[in-house]
Chains A and B, each alone.
Chain A
Amino acid sequence: MLLYILKRVLSAISVVIVTLVASFALFFLAPTDPAGVICGPRCTPDRVADIENSLGLNKPALEQIGSYMKGIVVGREYSAGGTVQHCDAPCLGYSYTLGQPVTKLLAQALPVTISIVIGGAVVYLIVGVLAGTIAAQVRGSSLDKAVVGTTLFVQSIPYFVFALIVALYATFLPETRYTPFLENPLTWASGLLAAWLCIGVTNAAAYTRYSRASMIETLGQDYIRTATSKGISRRRVVYRHGLRAGLTPVVTIFGIDLAFQLTGAIFTESIFGLPGLGQLTLRAFGQYDLPVLLGGVLVGSVVLVLMNLVVDIAYTILDPRVRLG
């Protein structure tokens, strides 16, 4: 088991490195002119050369990647506006438009996004799995049809429209504002409630459908019939025997979904004005802030790989048949 996890971690690290090199190549070696963009319209060639020099853009590509990697491990120094800035490890570069190290920007944004996504996930997992399981039990009934109809309706609304409606009309909810959890858990929760409901309700529709389909299949299995024949209650049959097996495919989807949401809660963050990862990268994109974009991609790939790892490990806990010696 430990060996298996170690193997998976090593392969995860190599995936992250490949992603890093590939995105570095895409951003820095593409026929773009980052220095010119940073410099602005009224720019002298001298100043462009200066920026290129400080960014290291005039050096060979391999050397650029090399010093970026080195920065992640031991830190590096940047010259910005004449002064030398020290960037501690893990250094992901320096944002010239914001005048701050990328690592610090990401460290500020990531907890916001994680708070939004995890809270939302709690809502949609509970609502979705429960509604799906109930619908599966009364398959074909009017309640089942109502549940399926509702999920279709919710899924047909574009997410940003839904989020806008909540942001504009759900004024009875506490005002949306991010407070770090450690500072005050209560205001942390109340400030994010609207965002959680938004993510929760829209994703609950999808999770209702996944769980319903999975539970219908599971409840038709022979071992469910066996469980019924033992004389245990229907509730126990469904929730102990059925849900345990029916949840496995849902866990897979959840891991992948969570990873994507962590990197792309852009709509939620923009509409509710929460300073998360999505907003940070969106702004960086508009301003051509390559170091920040690169940092965002790196965090995204790490999160994705990490979630896949977590799903695989969760699998071995859920299903004894995949337990490894």
Chain B
Amino acid sequence: MSDTTTPGPQTVTRVPRETAASEEAYLEVTDLQVQFPTADGLVRAVQGLSYSVPLRRTLAIVGESGSGKSVSSMAVLGLHDRKVARISGSIKVGGREVVGMSDKDLEGYRGGDAAMIFQDPQSSLHPYFTVGDQIVESYRAHHSVSKRKAKDRAIDMLGRVGIPNPRRRVDQYPHEFSGGMRQRAMIAMALVNDPKLLIADEPTTALDVTVQAQILDLIADLQRDFGSAVVFITHDLGVVAEIADDILVMYAGTAVEHGPVNKILGEPLHPYAWGLLESIPALTGEPQPLHPIPGSPPSLLAVPSGCPFHPRCEFKDRVPGDLCTTLKPDLISRTSDHGRTSRCHLKDPDRIFEIDVLPRLP
């Protein structure tokens, strides 16, 4: 199925930061499945997801709501309730297997080697405890130090994430912080134990645009200092362009495209990614009507047969036969560029993109 007959005239334009493709993966997810048995049937939230992230690299996972971005990342931190979620496959973090890890090992792993920044700092910080208390608790969960030492560390971290007057702020409650400051506190809490893996689940969605930019800069800066691997979950392609090295596009619980950020945003190979680019409003020239992807994401209770995107795909008729409705394509390299993979039956996606999609983009 891989297309080796069309030599792509692609030249590598720019390699982001250091070449890291050969670096060893710190996080390695292989064939991850997350399912939730419910009264209405089995919800297949994540199906056969594989990706890896080395240290000092940022992977952005993008997709619509319900595409499995958050569910897969919560699985990486072992945050799913065992009684509710069925998880199979493998998640290796620094060589340790997270799937099936005992509760005791999970406690040591969560917040220590891997930490998470959540979407809405308003609801993700405990309203009844001071910000300092919450950071101290996180630190002392992994370091046996006195409360005083831990508090000094909390003050230090608050200062590092750019909170002015941390010595006073440490004793305040989350409701006394502004939205941006709250997210900074959240980041301080996540980074207090120098995690090697940081998962940021839409950390800027609940914030206004100017604060968003500050938070993105902060995460990028801290990543440089701490040298962590970062998984950045978002549905904002502008954020992706700013922060990510690689992108994983998810649809209906599976990865449909994976590769370096400039490639995926510049010339994506999957019709769903094309749809995403087309739905970005143009901010220059005459106002143009938006081109949303027709239809809506499928229910994870009944994922469409074959390629899950086929009911919404406008290029389905370019694939011979009923391949799209019967066979789920593999996530493999489809052009001469082997650094990127996509999950689509189209024979010459790069040409279709150039001829049919590119002219429509703003």
Taking a contact as CB atoms under 8 Å apart, the answer to whether A321 and B118 are in contact is: no
Taking a contact as CB atoms under 8 Å apart, the answer to whether A230 and B141 are in contact is: yes
B203 at the interface (CB under 8 A from A): no
Taking a contact as CB atoms under 8 Å apart, the answer to whether B103 and A318 are in contact is: no
Asked if A245 meets B128 with Cβ closer than 8 Å, knowing A230-B111, A320-B175, the reply is yes
Interface residue count for B (Cβ, 8 Å)?
31
A contact patch SS: helix
25 contacting pairs across A/B (C-beta < 8 A)? A221-B123, A222-B123, A223-B125, A223-B127, A225-B79, A226-B118, A226-B125, A227-B126, A229-B79, A229-B111, A229-B116, A230-B138, A230-B141, A230-B189, A231-B107, A231-B111, A231-B112, A231-B141, A232-B137, A232-B138, A241-B129, A244-B126, A244-B128, A245-B126, A320-B175
Taking a contact as CB atoms under 8 Å apart, the answer to whether B127 and A245 are in contact is: yes
A319 at the interface (CB under 8 A from B): yes
Binding site for B on A (CB under 8 A): 141, 221-223, 225-234, 241, 244-245, 318-321
Extra pairs beyond A221-B123, A222-B120, A229-B111 (18, CB < 8 Å): A141-B83, A225-B124, A226-B118, A226-B125, A226-B186, A228-B110, A230-B141, A230-B189, A231-B106, A231-B109, A231-B110, A231-B138, A232-B111, A232-B138, A232-B141, A233-B107, A241-B126, A320-B127
A320 to B79, CA, bound (A): 28
Binding site for A on B (CB under 8 A): 77, 79, 83, 103, 106-112, 115-116, 118, 120, 123-130, 137-138, 141-142, 173, 175, 186, 189
Most central of B120, B128, B138 by chain A CB within 10 Å:
B128
CB distance from A188 to the nearest CB of B (A): 36
Taking a contact as CB atoms under 8 Å apart, the answer to whether B126 and A226 are in contact is: yes
Residue of A whose beta carbon sits closest to that of B111 = A231
A241 to B112, CA, bound (A): 19
Taking a contact as CB atoms under 8 Å apart, the answer to whether B108 and A231 are in contact is: yes
In the complex, which residues of chain A have a beta carbon less than 8 angstroms from the beta carbon of B175?
Answer: 320-321
CB distance from B146 to the nearest CB of A (A): 17
In the complex, which residues of chain A have a beta carbon less than 8 angstroms from the beta carbon of B123?
Answer: 221-223
Asked if A320 meets B173 with Cβ closer than 8 Å, knowing A231-B112, A245-B128, the reply is yes
Residue of B whose beta carbon sits closest to that of A241 = B126
A242 to B227, CA, bound (A): 34
